[in-house]
Structure 1
């Protein structure tokens, strides 16, 4: 029998009444993987220009010691800690992403969970539950809004992410169903972020702002602040306004909640490279080609990238001038892969992007868009591509990638995930401390208080190695 309750209330009821025992082991394991990956990305971003500016700004304000600002040695109000940590986590574009989320889930949900969880003294199991519920809400909202939401210029990490963070925060604060409906309503009016800012510091700010606004919305709702209780389904509500004519029926968005959980049905993609996910398949392909065939940059006349026709709509910088723009440039990623035969944190510096030898290669990189490579955002994110290297000696070599590394169909190994984490963490922590953090996250479900983890993350930066 179809429920007579509104979609907003159905979703709020799901957030309030789902318990840890309802979660399958697969959901918990996937969440733990993304939390390891997200904290690693945050530690890598802590000493970036983005990380330094946002934490300096937060540090100049009032420091009510509620929650840890990661790798900075101080605490502040939970909402501000979520802002700082979310921005750092997305600073290098090294965090996970998800097709249905229309962006990056962990960088908005996890900072809200860690900050508010620390201030509320929740357990590791409660943190995992809140994270998984936030993921569920974000994935469903992204599905409901559809690809058109992204295509017109909205950044799903910011728009979808704000409601996801609010859902996680509402659960941590133990709001009741009416209060949770209010939290979602408040969050809906705080959501926003434009894709034109890709390749600037404002893109990672989208993530931090969504995390902060989720905490803010739930905290206001706890105090009795009001919003429309039908925010998902109303004519001027979240789904219709952000989704436009292509939006799904809000009732469909809230159908079959928890059966299965979204993190199991539509799991996140873990990145192997610190650049936009739409570059990943081509990077996989070109690195294979240059290593397998002992090809050097000077051997290549042209790099033909056969991709989704949507990919250039994401990778908007054909002549990047900064490291941040380089993350959204197929031309740069292909050129630096040819030159360095690797694509890691060391490749994304302003100096490397401006290297004349690298820039000379931009003109050799060409797009081709065969119909079989698709035309939507999901096609770009999944990474089905073919790269053809046209050599100066007249030979061609090619590599087809069906799903880029890190995709659920082509996942990283446990060892690769741990190596990525330790490489990131050791930028700010000693190897011993980095390993202790990793082991603590791996045992998250056994922690009585999440501060056992956040306490390890509060150490000031400077004890690790220098990047590059």
Structure 2
């Protein structure tokens, strides 16, 4: 071990994170988890490709291209390479710009804050597909377990996933760099100071950028620790430390790896908008289909929500596509008009469509203060549709805490719907074949090469 200014403790959450990261291996995962992770990573690649051409991601990519950083990892769909850290930013921002990211609730952990860092540093280091799955599962479990222990952070206005994914990626990056446990403790501590994200930034480009920043700063934290930078070895759990500052929590029992790995619970979005809306939209679509309801029939729509719902989903009449993805009235309006909702449902044309605007006016959000819980989710959401002829139809939609589990065919349909906007069918199928057999890939840079340079 290198000489350090601070004594590294033998117990506590900071060290628990480091030890968990270093001891956990691909062999600890069952076949169900391995298959699930390959599907999540396929979905991740798919959403990143069209995201690179969206407004906010283009701003980040243009800036990163100007930096002319060392060519270590690919910026997917953008046709150039940059440093691992900046590739992670670009790919995190691109994947998040679609708002197709996959999450777990109530912690809110998102995969777009993790896979870009694993793949970018992994490309630089030429890791195998098994190591990529390993790194992703480790980082996600750390981030999610920290999130579950500190739900209050989102009530206070932080974007918990952005903060906690930084720590998860740092721990996985330390493992990929083959750091020892004491140096990994420092990487985790440094990441605690790097972590950032504000919930009120939803609807603005920086909210999307935060996901890439989590991966970048996770990599940087591990690299800085490798070169000798130190952090307090108990900063996660100590009074006035990281979790105390963001959530009022000290000495958490993170239960890392206990009861299975948390990434098995990742829900895959059907719709390119905030995860909080997904179950309401799915239930609403079932209601209109079961009762053959058309837009012209509808007098009003009521949705009952907990206060936390409107912390991120707060735009009734959005001004642009970024706000539209955090507008439940907009999402219900386009569902009612189109039934099929995809990326174009939130573009500027739909935001300003008079028919969509008129339907948004018919949506009423009823907030129930008595339903408030730590975090932003946790309560079922009743929906009522009142028709012009006086009839009413209602349904109680499941809480966002219940993950949406899509089948393999649905995941592939979503992936192809995204990928074919950027690459040919043969290229999309080649990428899918490699990701779905990731355990056989000896060097993940082969996947990145295909994703970085589009063939159409």
For the superposition of Structure 1 and Structure 2, which TM-score range results when normalised by the shorter chain? over 0.9
Query: How big is the shift at 1:379?
Result: 7.2
What CA distance in whole angstroms lies between the structure 2 residues aligned with 1:22 and 1:429? Answer: 35
Q: Deviations over 1:230-257 (max 9, x none)?
A: 121222221111112xx2532x12x4x3
Hey, what does 1:436 align to over in structure 2?
430
Of 408, 415, 421, which residue of structure 2 is paired with 1:421? 415
SS of 1:314 mapped into structure 2? coil
Query: How big is the shift at 1:96?
Result: 0.3
Hey, what does 1:447 align to over in structure 2?
441
Hey, what does 1:241 align to over in structure 2?
245
Written as runs of structure 1 = structure 2, the 5 A alignment for 1:313-352 is 313-352=311-350
Of 227, 234, 243, which residue of structure 2 is paired with 1:230? 234
- Determine whether 1:384 maps to 2:383: no
SS of 2:383 mapped into structure 1? strand
SS of 1:310 mapped into structure 2? helix
Q: Deviations over 1:377-423 (max 9, x none)?
A: 6773x78333211000111122333367x954x52111001100110
Hey, what does 2:146 align to over in structure 1?
141
Of 214, 232, 246, which residue of structure 2 is paired with 1:210? 214
Hey, what does 1:466 align to over in structure 2?
none
Query: More deviation in 357-366 or 219-228?
Result: 357-366
SS of 2:273 mapped into structure 1? coil
Query: Contact conserved, 2:312 with 2:326, CA < 8 A, in 1?
Result: yes
What CA distance in whole angstroms lies between the structure 2 residues aligned with 1:196 and 1:403? Answer: 21
Query: How big is the shift at 1:225?
Result: 1.3
- Determine whether 1:48 maps to 2:48: no
Q: Deviations over 1:93-119 (max 9, x none)?
A: 101011154341x11110001000010
What CA distance in whole angstroms lies between the structure 1 residues aligned with 2:99 and 2:327? Answer: 13
Of 282, 287, 290, which residue of structure 2 is paired with 1:289? 287
TM-score, normalised with respect to structure 2 = 0.93
Hey, what does 2:276 align to over in structure 1?
278
Query: More deviation in 122-131 or 383-392?
Result: 383-392
What CA distance in whole angstroms lies between the structure 2 residues aligned with 1:424 and 1:377? Answer: 34
Q: Deviations over 1:284-317 (max 9, x none)?
A: 1222233333322121110011333421222111
Query: Where does structure 1 lack aligned partners over 5 or more consecutive residues?
Result: 464-468
Query: How big is the shift at 1:363?
Result: 2.3
Of 132, 135, 146, which residue of structure 2 is paired with 1:130? 135
- Determine whether 1:375 maps to 2:379: no
Query: Contact conserved, 1:15 with 1:167, CA < 8 A, in 2?
Result: yes
What CA distance in whole angstroms lies between the structure 1 residues aligned with 2:383 and 2:189? Answer: 45
RMSD: 2.1
| Distance verdict in 2 for CA 1:205–1:377, change over 3 Å | farther
Hey, what does 2:115 align to over in structure 1?
110
**What is the count of residue pairs matched by the alignment?**
448
What CA distance in whole angstroms lies between the structure 2 residues aligned with 1:24 and 1:230? Answer: 32
SS of 2:38 mapped into structure 1? helix
Hey, what does 2:3 align to over in structure 1?
none
| Distance verdict in 2 for CA 1:383–1:73, change over 3 Å | farther
Query: How big is the shift at 1:369?
Result: 4.9
| Distance verdict in 2 for CA 1:11–1:141, change over 3 Å | same
Query: How big is the shift at 1:452?
Result: 1.9
Query: Contact conserved, 2:64 with 2:86, CA < 8 A, in 1?
Result: yes
Hey, what does 2:406 align to over in structure 1?
412
Of 391, 395, 402, which residue of structure 1 is paired with 2:391? 395
Hey, what does 2:158 align to over in structure 1?
154
Query: Contact conserved, 2:85 with 2:121, CA < 8 A, in 1?
Result: yes
| Distance verdict in 2 for CA 1:4–1:112, change over 3 Å | closer
| Distance verdict in 2 for CA 1:4–1:59, change over 3 Å | closer
Query: Contact conserved, 2:142 with 2:167, CA < 8 A, in 1?
Result: yes
Of 67, 74, 85, which residue of structure 2 is paired with 1:79? 85
